Amino acid sequence: MADLIIKNAYILSMDPEAGDIENGIVVVEDGKIKEVGTSTECTAEKVIDAKGSVLMPGLVNTHCHAGMTIFRGYADDMQLQDWLENHIWPAEAKLTDDDIYAGTKLACLEMIRSGTIAFADMYIHENRVAQAVDEAGIRAALSYGMIDFGDKEKADKELEVGRAFVKEWNGKAGGRISTMYGPHAPNTCSRDFLIRVKEQAVKDGVKQHIHVLETEAELNYMKENFGMCSIHFLKGIDFWGTDVLAAHCVWLSDGDIKILAEYGVNISHNPNSNMKLASGICPVAKLIDAGANVCLGTDGCASNNNLDMFEEMRSAALLQKVSTMDPTALPARKVLEMATINGAKALGINSGMLKEGYNADMIIVDMNKAHLAPVYDVASHLVYAANGKDVSTTIVDGKVLMEDGKVLSMDEQEVIDTAIKASKDLLDRIGN
């Protein structure tokens, strides 16, 4: 007997061979998809009737600082450098590991509610992030964010913490957690440090997660100090020769785009954060044309200010259209690919498609809503009209984490109350 059957769904499989299936059935066994079709011989312990709903692969958030959910709305309307140096970093210095656990629990709750099945994270006290992910039931690729600012002693310490984290958590939570190295950015990490981290990542067989060319200030800094941009600088130390997830990539030349595509770099596009911090616009359409793997992320909640990947899909599409003055740029299906297939590829997980053998990481979107009627094209609604609140059911690794709007893997009110209390205590400590 199978574990779970979902029937009567409009299946948006994202599998190029199967396409969309009306009135479809998905069968789940041992956390994997066993069958996708229009009928089945199987019976299951649990059956969900998804009539009037869309069943699709859950969304993958490829750039996040989940613990920063505790800072939602803490410091808005300023430049990245001012925001980080004068507000976020001083506040982070006062964060306890309990605060980060509380913030990450809240982030996981919000992600499960809005249809995200996996996320990539870079933050501090990452052990507690991993604990929260383990308990919440979601999937994640986690990294400890390392910064050395050219200080050799700090570099040694940071790499030690990063290494310990990679070793302790890779493959944990029944395989739902993977680990990466997280050198923060080319303008906050020294050249020597980036080389050491890269070599360690290759030795340990894990990926690296890094911010790259988020701002024009970074581009200017790199040109002044190294006589070249971050993309060429990282090429020079063979950083791109390893498996990399690069967030933002806003300030790219046409030559940079070629390099990123050629090396198969995974690029996490974060349109809402880039708009809010006025960082600029990632040339997504050009990157895709060049053959690069572009996926989507929200960034942290202090620069977004939510984790709703449906909003991110809509923003990504609209921003490319207006910046290229071409309404055919980034059509709905392409954006859905970025949020599912491409994101799963970037994280190295077998999700992002509803297909036999893939992880049963999927969501049900309720289409019986005023703002989703009538329906001509399901993909259009998912990108241009829906939002995260339309997700009724979220399934990760075959486990139902939310069913019909009720979160099953955690006590929702307790998670919200704990985060609010932590934010108040934090303000007292900061002295605001």
Which residues define the annotated binding site? 63, 65, 92, 184, 211, 214, 299
Q: Select the residue interacting with ligand NOS from 123, 240, 263, 358 (CB under 6 A).
A: 123
**Minimum distance from CB of 282 to ligand NOS (Å)?**
13
Shortest distance, position 273 Cβ to ligand NOS, whole Å: 6
Residues in 262-291 that interact with ligand NOS by CB under 6 A: 273
Stretch that binds Zn ion, among 10-18, 125-133, 216-224, 293-301 (CB under 5 A): 293-301
Question: What residues from 287 to 326 belong to the interface with ligand NOS (CB under 6 A)?
Answer: 299-300, 303
Dihedral pair phi/psi, residue 354, rounded to 5°: -95, 100
Structure tokens at 49: 């009737």
Q: How far is the CB of 303 from ligand NOS (least distance, A)?
A: 5
Name which of residues 5 to 64 contact ligand NOS (CB under 6 A).
Answer: none
The option from Zn ion, ligand NOS, none interacting with 409 (CB < 5 to 8 A, set by class) reads none
Alpha carbon of residue 295 to chain centroid: 8
Which residues 138-167 are close enough to bind ligand NOS by CB under 6 A? 145
Piece in contact with ligand NOS (CB under 6 A), picked from 26-34, 110-118, 119-127, 330-338 = 119-127
Nearer to ligand NOS, 300 or 343 (CB): 300
Contact between 378 and 54 under an 8 Å Cβ cutoff? The reply is yes
Known binding residues for Zn(2+):
63, 65, 211, 299
Only one of the segments 282-290, 291-299, 322-330, 414-422 lies at the binding site for Zn ion (rule: CB under 5 A); that segment is: 291-299
Residue 31 contacts which entry, Zn ion, ligand NOS, none (Cβ below 5-8 A, type-dependent) = none
Q: How far is the CB of 430 from Zn ion (least distance, A)?
A: 21
Which window, 189-197, 249-257, 297-305, 407-415, contacts Zn ion (CB under 5 A)?
Answer: 297-305
The 3-class secondary structure across the chain, one letter per residue, is CEEEEEEEEEEECCCCCCCEEEEEEEEEECCEEEEEECCCCCCEEEEEECCCEEEEECEEEEEECHHHHHHCCCCCCCCHHHHHHHHHHHHHCCCCHHHHHHHHHHHHHHHHHCCEEEEEEEECCHHHHHHHHHHHCCEEEEEEEECCCCCHHHHHHHHHHHHHHHHHHCCCCCCCEEEEEEECCCCCCCHHHHHHHHHHHHHHCCEEEEEECCCHHHHHHHHHHHCCCHHHHHHHCCCCCCCEEEEECCCCCHHHHHHHHHCCCEEEECHHHHHHCCCCCCCHHHHHHCCCEEEECCCCHHHCCCCCHHHHHHHHHHHHHHHHCCCCCCCHHHHHHHHHHHHHHHHCCCCCCCCCCCECCEEEEECCCHHHCCCCCHHHHHHHCCCHHHEEEEEECCEEEEECCEECCCCHHHHHHHHHHHHHHHHHHHCC
Contact range with Zn ion by CB under 5 A, out of 123-131, 219-227, 295-303, 304-312: 295-303
Q: Is 312 one of the binding residues for Zn ion (CB under 5 A)? A: no
Looking only at residues 53 through 92 of this chain, which bind ligand NOS when binding is defined by CB under 6 A?
Answer: 65, 80, 84, 88, 92
Contacted by 337, from Zn ion, ligand NOS, none: CB < 5 to 8 Å by type: none
Closest CB to Zn ion: residue number: 299
Under the criterion CB under 6 A, does residue 125 sit at the interface with ligand NOS?
no
| Residue nearer to ligand NOS on the CB measure, 87 or 191 | 87
Yes or no: say if 107 and 120 are a contact pair by the CB < 8 Å rule: no
What is the C-alpha end-to-end distance of the chain, expressed in Å?
Answer: 58
CB contact at 8 A, 313 and 26: no
Distance CA 335, CA 351 (A): 16
Lay out the site mask for ligand NOS across 354-383 (x = CB under 6 A, - = otherwise). ------------------------------
305 cis-preceded (ω within 30 degrees of 0): yes
CB of 71 to Zn ion, least distance (A): 12
Write out the binding residues for substrate: 92, 184, 214, 299
Among 3, 110, 121, 299, interactor with Zn ion by CB under 5 A: 299
Q: Does 222 bind ligand NOS (CB under 6 A)?
A: no
Residues 175-194, mask of contacts with ligand NOS (x by CB under 6 A): ---------x----------
Judged by the rule CB under 5 A, the positions of this chain that interact with Zn ion are 299
Judged by the rule CB under 6 A, the positions of this chain that interact with ligand NOS are 65, 80, 84, 88, 92, 122-124, 145, 184, 211, 214, 273, 299-300, 303
